């Protein structure tokens, strides 16, 4: 009997940045579809409650591996370790990234004096980290002549942040959503297209999943303003993201590569 299209039994999936905000969502979706999951994150990074709960029920199908995506040697060591534990990766979710959540208002900058170190750090993690993990784990997929790589983008890869979402936040200076986040995510989308064309002949598909704003304890004013800008009238919930990820990871999307799947409730349609 042929394997159902959305089933991932027997496949090893790698998720970077797995212990934080979105990582447990991707890991849970892959586990529920039958995959084993190698969860990569920084050494010493405190796991979120969601990841801890997931790990407690997943048993030996989920294992955490230390990995700094900005350090090639760290990535190589993590990939070698996960291959010994689970076998060759068939799915890679490039989720590790640095965002800029609204702050407490005490240490802000204007655009003309925005620290270049902040911009550099976002590019280093979001873009260069994604590139290096793709180089190392993706090449193993090329060698095996199969695999699905999913970069996690953002709606801000294609549109600019609406600074009015944040103008209710108190502080000496207005909160300014950095240009570095969207710029790095736009580059991640293009990077997926590059590898999709390069590795397509080798049987490796590369796509981007770009979520809209995900509900995660934001203040009521932000949620109201953001939701008013979304055709579906609300922020994303974890359940909204799982199906699209499994689609891209599974045989349901065997003729889909180089694509950016926006899961944003229609935000970018306006």
pLDDT classification of 104: cutoffs 50, 70, 90: low
- Please determine, for residue 1, whether its predicted confidence score (pLDDT) is greater than 90: no
Whole-number Cα distances in Å, 256 to 8, 34, 140, 185: 17, 21, 20, 20
pLDDT reported for residue 107: 76
Conformation bin of residue 258: beta by default, left when phi > 0, alpha when psi is -120 to 50: left
Q: How far apart are the first and last CA of the chain?
A: 44
Q: Rounded to two decimals, what is the model's pTM? A: 0.96
Query: Could you give all domains of the chain from N- to C-terminal order, each with its CATH number?
Result: 12-102+125-159+180-213+241-259+262-266 (3.40.50.720)
Least confident of 2-6, 200-204, 213-217, 240-244: 2-6
Q: What positions carry a catalytic annotation?
A: 181
Task: Dump pLDDT digits (tens) for 189-225.
Answer: 999 999 999 999 999 999 999 999 999 989 999 999 9
How far apart CA 97 and CA 220 sit, in angstroms, is: 25
- 136-183, pLDDT tens digit by residue? 999 999 999 999 999 999 999 999 999 999 999 998 899 999 999 999
């Amino acid at each position: 009997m042929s394997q159902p299209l959305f089933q991932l039994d027997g496949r090893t999936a790698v998720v970077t940045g797995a212990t934080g905000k979105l990582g447990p969502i991707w890991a849970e979706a892959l586990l529920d579809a039958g995959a084993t999951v190698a969860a990569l994150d920084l050494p010493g990074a405190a796991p979120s409650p969601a990841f801890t709960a997931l790990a407690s029920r997943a048993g030996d199908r989920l294992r955490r591996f230390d990995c700094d995506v900005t350090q090639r040697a760290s990535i190589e060591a993590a990939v070698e370790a996960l291959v010994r534990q689970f076998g060759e990766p068939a799915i890679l979710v490039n989720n590790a990234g640095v965002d800029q959540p609204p702050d407490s208002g005490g240490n802000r900058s204007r655009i003309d004096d925005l620290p270049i170190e902040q911009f550099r750090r976002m590019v280093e993690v979001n873009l260069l980290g994604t590139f290096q993990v793709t180089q190392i784990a993706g090449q193993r997929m090329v060698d095996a002549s199969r695999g699905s790589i999913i970069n996690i983008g953002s709606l801000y890869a294609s549109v600019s942040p609406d600074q009015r979402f944040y103008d209710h936040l108190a502080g000496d200076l207005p909160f300014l959503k950095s240009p570095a986040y969207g710029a790095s995510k736009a580059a991640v989308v293009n990077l997926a297209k590059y590898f999709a064309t390069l590795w397509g002949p080798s049987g490796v598909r590369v796509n981007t999943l770009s979520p809209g704003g995900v509900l995660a304890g934001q203040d009521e004013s932000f949620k109201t303003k953001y939701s008013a800008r979304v055709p579906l009238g609300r922020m994303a919930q974890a359940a909204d993201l799982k199906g699209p990820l499994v689609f891209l990871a599974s045989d349901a999307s065997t003729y889909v590569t180089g694509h950016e799947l926006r899961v944003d409730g229609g935000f970018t349609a306006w």
